Amino acid sequence: MQAKVITVQRSLMVSTTFDWDIDWRGKSSGDTNAGGSEVVYGNFPRWIGTPQLGLCQEVIPQWRALRATARGRVNAYRIPIIDAFSYARKMTAKVYDLQGIKGVGGLNFTSHTPTEFQPFMLVKSDVSKGATSVVVDVSPVSDYAPQVGEVLSNKDWPFIVTEVYSTGANEYTLTVEPPFREAILQGEVIDIIPYGLFKVTSDTSGNPSYGVNLRSTPKFDFVEWLR
């Protein structure tokens, strides 16, 4: 069965903890005769996380509907990976008039319709699969500069920025981990609010149970969907 992808709004990811991490999927090959140990890294790295949400009365029904649509482990969640250090914290409570803002492809939005703006930076040159650096142009978002330790994403593949070098006006070279898991072409975008595709590890994960106060603190156990 083809998995269906369900996008989770940023306003629903009200996480009280942040523990998203890269699972490098190392496997021990046992102890050596010299008394040391060996670990083999042959699998595709993946992100994992167990966010605990703080849900109020208004959003509990929305999460119940999302979980029902996910059908346990059948379908995938497209999740914004937001923490206290990310640029997303500045964006979450804002609604943007996109008149005059450049969108993907370099064209300006012409509508005044309010929308949830997805900030992005442009890739300056082609990046091959497995590369660990990229040159970006941040001019589409005037008040942004990449930070070491920040989580970003491309095509819903998240990664961590490990080094940042300014190489010109609005231009930076980023070193990242894990290595890019898909090739990126010049002119494509990197999302400043990172997204990843995840499935739960249990059909009952994240049940938003609640009491008479109509508050819920469900905990999800997510593992990246390696499609």
CATH 3.30.420 fits 1-25+41-81+194-227, yes or no: no
Number of H helices, E strands in the chain: 2, 14
Domain range annotation of the chain: 1-25+41-81+194-227
- Residue 204 has a pLDDT of 96
Average pLDDT (131-151) is 92
Query: What's the predicted TM-score (pTM) here?
Result: 0.85
39 C-beta neighbours (distance < 10 Å), count: 10
List the end-to-end C-alpha distance of the chain, in Å, as a whole number.
Answer: 13
User: 216 with 206: CB under 8 angstroms?
Assistant: no
Of 70-74, 86-90, 120-124, 218-222, minimum mean pLDDT range = 86-90
Long-range pairs, 72-75, Cβ under 8 A, ≥24 = 72/200, 72/202, 72/203, 72/204, 73/199, 73/200, 73/201, 73/202, 73/203, 74/1, 74/3, 74/4, 75/3, 75/4, 75/5, 75/6, 75/199
- Residue 224 has a pLDDT of 97
Share of the chain above pLDDT 70, in %: 80
Strand (E) or helix (H) holding 126: none
Confidence check: pLDDT of 95 > 50: no
